[in-house]
Structure 1
Amino acid sequence: MADDSFSNTPSTLLDVARVAGVSPSTVSRILNGTARVSEVKRKAVLAAIEAMNFTPNQMAKNLKSGNSMTIGIVVQDISSPFFDETLRGVDDGLKDTGYTSVIVSGHWNADEEAERVQLLLARKVDGIILLSGRISDETVIKFSQRCPIVATGRAVRTESSIGFKIDNEYGAYLAVNHLIELGHRRIAYVAGPDNNNDAADRLKGYQRAIKEANIKLERGLIVEGDFHEASGLLAVNQLFETRQKFTAIFAANDLSAYGVRLGLYRKGIRVPEDISLVGFDDLPSSSYTAPPLTTVHQPLYDIGLLATNALLAIIQGKEIEAHVPPVELVVRETTRRLA
């Protein structure tokens, strides 16, 4: 029976601790799923919560069911608009499901990324969505033995894990082939980081399009970047400092293309009248650059929604029926036929 002294006032965590005969910190750790306590103490806390009608009733229910109703999400750069769009899909996928999310960042560092996954596992999340990243497929599969994982940017598949990967090579091929069809033959490429799988695939797409068109591949036209705006700006400077001749630039992502656009502007070069430019990702802001950017549409929102639905299906023991939407070229105003 509940203590009458608490019948007319809201119970607090301290009240629960006193009735259960444990410390307040123990109650807190039991509620957030990080406590390692005896079954006797756990049951005492649950009984006190129920008897006193303690406010976080959902937490108590979760403890009873063995579910935290929490999904962990690992991104690589929280400030990136690339991840913003994917997270919007994740957020919509979690609506009306009762699940909440915990977002952490791996900062494109495999060790840090693994530590963040370990942190989420310690919080007893019901599943993890891994957005891109550097940890190996083998590590993803190992972690999935402890809780379900859905990963983007890779092609893993086990009973408790699944990956969704777009065709980056084909997307880059579309971009470069578009420029070739417009008459361009000297096409510079601002690449992504050399240790990134997406960047490696996009380089292959660039090379394939050049080869199929019987155009000589010139190493001087390929400049390494890092998927950030500054690298696009620096790439333009490098191309001019090394006196490369080109009529078009393909940037490995939209952010790099923004930097390229600024670099060309500072040199008095018009887009697309003097140089054509293509990006990759189709970020929301790419429709509003001056001029609007021709780019490869990557279904970022759809992938976030797809990943969430797949994770919930694994958690609920349901069959996963998921197909990654294809990439497609979006022609806007930064490309034109070579005169």
Structure 2
Amino acid sequence: MPDSVTLSHVAREAGVSPSTVSRVINGTARVAPEKERAVYEAIRRLGYQPNLIAQGLAKGKSMSVGVITQDVASPYYGEVIKGVEEGLSGSPYYPVFASGHWRPDAEREAFKVLNGRKIDGLIVMGGLLPDDELRALAGGLPTVVLGRTVPGLEPDCLTVDHVQGAYEATRHLIDLGHRRIAHIAGPLYQQDARDRLEGYRRALADANLNFDPRLVVEGDYHEPSGLMAVEALLARGALFTAIFSSNDQMAYGARLALYRRGIQVPGEVSLVGFDDLPGSSYTTPPLTTVAQPSLEFGREAARAILSKLEGRPYAFAPLANRLVVRESTALLRQGVR
């Protein structure tokens, strides 16, 4: 069984000394290529799994990367987390997750818990920690930031253009003939929600359409707030033929509210989301949305933190949103609403 295989077994199988096996695994000295290949072949055949944690502790490392997410239950963050796990797979490092819950005090507590485990590096996903606190963290620990740009840490920050993504979503609806377009905004204390609102407003302005604050309702990125936003729009008598939702989850709630009112999508109201969650292609009808490269976000974050931990240079690969058109949007029908 692999659990009973020792370094000595590997050495005997490879025809080398135990010290050579140790040097190959730990990378502590150069080994002839043929011996290195023999060791790796023996490891593969025997299923040997070195105790990476013990090796790390011997070097003063925990071999772990702390990841502060905001909501582990969120489908969006779940995709990013999956990308981080994939990116770290095959490396000697493993991720340790903690939630910040979009509260600076909770984020500080999450970091305190992670730091207590002597993490070797840190990935921060979004959050509301002040920039100066993030700069201080990065000064003492290899750090990568996702979803926001921190002045002074720009090379270590990865985000996408939320303004442009929202602009394209709104422009898509305008190109279909819609002029009364409602917007379900995300929580406006978050930068991405403000950016998406800005993209919506810019698209309206470029089409010479007036911005109507009565067509904007703030949600919280969860499904119930999308449902309540549509109910609020209808209760105030707002006229609209399309909705741009700041994320897919609120679009799901909006779709349910429209269904309960007997309003057809896209026959009477077209609907666009943002994120392209895995379930968005299976809604009824399948949701037009702005796809975020969430898996790639996580993989890039892992690649960056590994490079920092190993002292290698790196630069983030450029990532961009893209509009995915499905059946929830259609040309405006004359006489509708």
Matched, 1:243 2:226: no
- Stretch of structure 1 that moved more, 237-246 or 314-323: 314-323
Q: State how far apart, in whole Å, the 1-side matches of 2:53 and 2:83 are.
A: 26
Residue correspondence of structure 1 range 79-158 to structure 2 within 5 A: 79-156=73-150
The corresponding residue for 2:165 is 171
Q: Pick from 216, 223, 231: which aligns with 1:222?
A: 216
Separation in structure 1 between the aligned mates of residue 60 and residue 154 of structure 2, nearest angstrom: 18
CA distance in 2, matches of 1:164, 1:156: 10
2:286 partner amino acid:
P
CA distance in 2, matches of 1:330, 1:292: 10
- Residue pairs, 1:188-337, within 5 angstroms: 188-337=182-331
Q: 1:306: Cα distance to partner?
A: 0.4
Deviation at 1:160, TM superposition (A): 11
Q: Which amino acid aligns with 2:190?
A: N
> Matches of 1:185 and 1:238 in 2, distance apart?
19
Which secondary structure state, in structure 1, belongs to the residue aligned with residue 160 of structure 2? coil
* Alpha-carbon offset, residue 57 of structure 1: 4.9
The answer to whether the 8 Å contact 2:131/2:151 transfers is: no
SS at match of 1:200: helix
2: distance between equivalents of 1:244 and 1:152? 36
CA distance in 1, matches of 2:153, 2:146: 16
Q: CA deviation at 1:64?
A: 1.9
Q: Which residue is 2:21 aligned to?
A: none
For normalisation by structure 2, the TM-score amounts to 0.82
Inter-partner Cα distance in structure 2 for 1:91 and 1:58: 17
Aligned Cα root-mean-square deviation (Å): 1.7
Per the TM alignment, residue 59 of structure 1 is displaced from its structure 2 partner at its CA by 3.5
TM-superposed CA distance for 1:134, in Å, is 1.1
Percent sequence identity over matched residues? 47
Distance (whole Å) between structure 1 residues aligned to residue 107 and residue 153 of structure 2: 22
Task: Check the 8 A contact 1:137/1:154 in 2, yes or no.
Answer: no
Q: Which runs of 5+ in 1 are unaligned?
A: 1-9, 11-54
Letter of the 2:109 counterpart = E
Unaligned runs of 5+ in 2: 5-48
Going from structure 1 to structure 2, the CA distance change for 1:132 and 1:160 (only over 3 Å counts) comes to closer
Match of 2:23 in 1: none
Q: Partners in 1 of 2:132 and 2:253 — Cα distance?
A: 35
Work out whether residues 143 and 305 of structure 2, in 8 Å CA contact, stay in contact via their aligned partners in 1: yes
Does the aligned pair in 1 maintain the 2:52–2:92 contact within 8 Å? no
Give a deviation string over 1:35-77, Cα, whole Å, max 9, x none. Answer: xxxxxxxxxxxxxxxxxxxx99544322221211001111111
CA distance in structure 2 between the partners assigned to 1:203 and 1:253 by the alignment: 11
CA–CA separation in structure 1 for the residues paired with 2:264 and 2:62: 55
- Partner letter of residue 279 of structure 1? G
In the comparison of the two structures, how many residue pairs are matched? Answer: 286
State TM-score, norm by structure 1: 0.81
- Once residues 330 and 143 of structure 1 are traced to their aligned partners in structure 2, the CA distance between those partners, rounded to angstroms, is 37
Q: Aligned partners of 1:268 and 1:213: how far apart in 2?
A: 30
Which whole-Å CA distance do the structure 2 matches of 1:156 and 1:312 have between them? Answer: 20
| Paired AA for residue 83 in structure 1 | Y
| Alignment-derived partner of residue 66 in structure 2 | 72
The amino acid that maps onto 2:167 is Y
The alpha-carbon deviation at position 228 of structure 1 amounts to 0.5
2:59 maps to a residue whose letter is S
Runs of 4+ aligned structure 1 residues displaced above 4 Å come to: 157-161
Q: Distance in 2 between matches of 1:206 and 1:124?
A: 43
Q: How many Å separate the matches in 2 of 1:232 and 1:160?
A: 33
Aligned-pair distance for 1:118? Answer: 2.1
